[in-house]
Structure 1
């Protein structure tokens, strides 16, 4: 068995964890990178992404996977800004009857798909919309270890989040 198979997965959302939102606009620092000159006219929210996230995420003992509605645009727009290579991307399935039932029960629409993607492998999920209902569903339906780590969207990923993730990932 290779290290890659044994390493836990880390499913990473973009909006909230990497692009903070919800606080007064003036509260967010902005960052320019060589990949995003000021005159580029791209999404202005990209400037909120701290390039220090890339090395910190890459240092975590896991396999990173984009779990975002950005889909492969995360590889095109975000990965180069923060120095990450292209990452696998969760492709969200069409909603099913089971997903609709989950939603009525308060389960996030990503939850079932991430458990299916993990296929029993240990995983952490970093998102700003995780609830205790998602944690309970994962606990009942996933045979591996799982950490559902909610990030405050007005702050984004911070030092305490990285410490918690690193400590948990090293126990898997």
Structure 2
């Protein structure tokens, strides 16, 4: 039995996907500054010149490797909104995609990564702020909720804080629920 012939375009897409997967893994592990084109090429079993041919620069490779960021919450009922926010925390504590980890690891040392995160978090804050009941400071309350969850995610995923790492996700969510609910409910 013969294997089907793979077209040149298919081989190119497979090579590009292999390079991106290697880049995601290395950026997640080392961040932007400490990841090199040579290391990505070696991990993908290609020549460094091919990485540059496909992506043009380390910055473009990084941008394509970390594109995905979560959508802002969409629920309108306060309890459902809190549930949705805490459910995303459960997903984050269960393991983030390597692209998201790469972005988080790089955001404090690389201005472009910081800008990317700022835009993504801004979209989440805007979406949450629009979903909050009309009250004083919806954008500030949304920013506090989003960054509180970001802090928990960083403590768990990047810093490996024992108290967060060892606690069940549902217990963390239960402890956070009153704080997130207080931010989501309009003050009386």
Q: TM-score range by the shorter chain?
A: under 0.3
- TM-score normalised by the chain length of structure 1: 0.24
Instruction: Identify, as 1 or 2, the structure richer in strand.
Output: 1
| Larger-gyration structure (1/2) | 2
Counting helix residues as a fraction of each chain, which structure ranks higher? 2
